[in-house]
């Protein structure tokens, strides 16, 4: 369809009146080409009024410039980073914040409307409360599109109080308010189905993938009837934590507490539609805390009461994990995993851990099981040398991955593959380890953009190629195996096969089963924030 760039003679970036112009259902969009990858940013997939279902954007005449990222959703809940973590993660808070944030971005090489390339739709992290498609430099889709000959899509959607405040008790027009942040994603997937062929993608081969809160969004869509048929494979990275959609009796209590916080009667609920976002968000945070304080301990979700999808009996008619919900996605191949250290490096400065302090922490957590825990830990990870390695292994997400994989296998449908990212970053005196989000530069093959996090060494580049190719092969076929990795069997509960990503990638079988069993007996598992 378009002339391809000659990397020896053409400039790195080509942008002009007819460089990358594509017809969409809403009108023509114009992007640009960078090193032979066509890039489109900020394409509108929807418009929305506060608390209401989004709808298709108004068509436009002429050619719409899609050269820069669209707005990010407002948030007051972005995590506070230390200076060292700011250095490593390089978070981008967004140059433009606006509630009209329903845009998506596309990367594709050698664009051809007949190409039918696999499509990979990225859902960003930050729980359901914060984050964006441009939060970290690792989210850039150019390398993945170039290396895998796939179409990469990322998107923004409504979050926090804007996307998940359940006002259904007050008016019929708000019946979907508790889930509009998730229905936005369905609208984006519908846009992909209708338009992605014009960019060279195959609407019949769409993979949704996400990390942390993005992985949870993948899980949400796996349980949403309206999303069925809009994607065909799923990848959950450190995001297997939701095991319960918020019950309506809880979500409606949050709405009630929010109105009380703002001293609004139910008859004045419409005032929320025009209230300044900061005032609304502050009241929402207070309402969540108030409702959680009144809940029984066993009612509080794993990570606390947060903005989450609501069991509304419309968009989400079944509770997560129920037979009816799991039947919706039994035919969807799944790739699921976590990273070795997750939130521990956020919570503890591992450089300051001594043998004595490590032993004290283990005794506090495991009591008379401490000796058995250490023995199981060294059996699972025989390379352990430093005292900090006695207490840095994640015991929150890894068990959730195993539970997720066991349930998927029990459904008797498509295969599930599991992984554990173990590679340790050399930066900041190796204090980051395999921290939450460390896998992202490897999945997107963006080591060059994330040197502050990865160190940018040769080993990182080699591993990034292996991991990104595994994700690409999974998106193409539903199987992550490729020639630079050892044979990666599908998971089953009997063998417990897991691909361990490190400088040497190796498949292990229930290597940490004893460790997880001991950890499960502890009542003081380290929790974290996502």
Mean pLDDT of 468-476: 98
How high is the pLDDT of residue 473?
98
Number of other residues whose CB lies within 10 A of the CB of residue 294: 10
Distance CA 193, CA 54 (A): 17
**What integer is the mean pLDDT of 189-208?**
98
Ramachandran region, residue 273 (left: φ > 0; alpha: ψ -120 to 50; beta: rest): alpha
Containing 287, the helix (H) or strand (E) segment is helix 277-293
Ordered by start, the domain boundaries in the chain are 333-520
What would the 3-class secondary structure string for 126-165 be? CCCCCCCCCCCHHHCCHHHHHHHCCEEEEECCCCHHHHHC
For the chain, give the percent of residues with pLDDT over 70: 96
User: In which band, very low, low, confident or very high, does the pLDDT at 57 lie, cut at 50, 70 and 90?
Assistant: very high
Of 158-167, 294-303, 484-493, the least confident? 294-303
Cα–Cα distances in angstroms (integers) from residue 390 to residues 318, 508, 512, in the given order: 40, 20, 14
Only one residue has tokens 């929807």, namely 46
Token code pair at residue 198: 């014009």
Strands (E), 447-528: 497-501, 506-509
Per residue in 76-111, pLDDT tens? 877 778 899 998 988 887 769 999 999 999 999 988
Token code pair at residue 15: 């942008």
The 10s digit of each residue's pLDDT in 276-309 is 999 999 999 999 999 999 999 888 887 889 999 9
Task: State the architecture of 333-520 in CATH terms.
Answer: 3-Layer(aba) Sandwich (3.40)
- Chain segment 8-19, per-residue pLDDT in tens: 555 788 888 878
Query: What is the spatial distance between Cα 461 and Cα 446, in angstroms, rounded to a whole number?
Result: 9
Residue 529 has pLDDT above 60, yes or no: no
Question: What are the φ and ψ backbone dihedral angles of 285, each rounded to 5 degrees?
Answer: -65, -45
Q: What is the pLDDT of residues 418-463, one digit of tens each?
A: 999 999 999 999 999 999 999 999 999 999 999 999 999 999 999 9
The reply to whether the predicted model has a pTM over 0.85 is yes
pLDDT band for 525, please (50, 70, 90 cuts): very low
């Amino acid at each position: 369809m378009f002339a391809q760039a000659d990397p020896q003679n053409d400039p790195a970036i080509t942008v002009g009146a007819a460089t990358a112009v594509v017809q969409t259902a809403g009108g023509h969009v114009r992007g640009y080409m960078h090193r032979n990858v066509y890039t489109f940013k900020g394409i509108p997939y929807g418009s929305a009024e506060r608390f209401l279902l989004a709808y298709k954007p108004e068509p436009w005449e002429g050619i719409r410039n899609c050269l820069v990222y669209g707005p990010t959703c407002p948030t007051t809940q972005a995590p506070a980073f230390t200076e060292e973590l700011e250095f490593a993660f390089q978070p981008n808070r967004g140059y433009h914040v606006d509630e009209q944030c329903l845009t998506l971005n596309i990367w594709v090489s050698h664009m051809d409307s007949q190409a039918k390339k696999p499509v990979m739709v990225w859902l960003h992290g930050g729980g359901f409360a914060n984050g964006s498609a441009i939060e970290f430099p690792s989210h850039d889709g150019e390398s993945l599109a170039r290396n895998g000959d796939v179409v990469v899509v990322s998107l923004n959607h409504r979050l926090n109080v804007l996307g998940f405040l359940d006002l259904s008790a007050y008016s019929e027009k708000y019946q979907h308010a508790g889930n509009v942040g998730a229905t936005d994603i369905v609208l984006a997937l519908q846009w992909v189905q209708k338009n992605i062929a014009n960019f060279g993608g195959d609407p019949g081969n769409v993979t949704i993938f996400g990390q942390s809160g993005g992985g949870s969004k993948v899980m949400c869509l796996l349980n949403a009837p309206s999303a069925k048929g809009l994607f065909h494979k799923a990848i959950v990275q450190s995001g297997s934590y939701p095991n319960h959609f918020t019950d309506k009796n809880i979500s409606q209590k949050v709405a009630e507490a929010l109105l009380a916080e703002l001293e609004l009667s139910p008859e004045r609920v419409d005032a929320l539609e025009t209230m300044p976002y900061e005032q609304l968000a502050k009241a929402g945070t207070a309402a969540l805390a108030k409702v959680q304080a009144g809940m029984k301990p066993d009612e509080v979700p794993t990570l606390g009461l947060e903005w989450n999808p609501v069991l509304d009996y419309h968009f989400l008619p079944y509770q997560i994990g129920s037979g009816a919900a799991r039947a919706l996605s039994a035919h969807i191949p799944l790739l699921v995993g976590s990273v070795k250290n997750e939130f521990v490096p956020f919570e503890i400065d591992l450089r300051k851990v001594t043998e004595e302090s490590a032993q004290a922490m283990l005794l506090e957590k495991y009591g008379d099981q401490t000796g058995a825990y250490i023995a199981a830990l060294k059996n699972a990870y025989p390379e352990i040398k430093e005292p900090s390695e006695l207490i840095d292994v994640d015991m929150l997400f890894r068990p959730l991955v195993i539970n997720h994989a066991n349930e998927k296998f029990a459904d008797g449908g498509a295969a599930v593959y599991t992984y554990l990212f173990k590679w340790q970053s050399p930066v900041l005196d190796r204090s980051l380890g395999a921290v939450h989000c460390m896998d992202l530069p490897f999945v997107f093959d963006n080591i060059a953009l994330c040197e502050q996090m990865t160190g940018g060494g040769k080993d990182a580049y080699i591993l990034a190629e292996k991991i990104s190719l595994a994700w690409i092969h999974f998106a193409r076929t539903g199987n992550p195996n490729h020639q630079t990795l050892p044979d990666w069997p599908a998971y089953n509960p009997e063998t417990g096969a897991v691909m361990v990503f490190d400088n040497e990638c190796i498949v292990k079988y229930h290597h940490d089963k004893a460790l997880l069993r001991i950890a499960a007996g502890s009542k003081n598992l380290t929790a974290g924030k996502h």
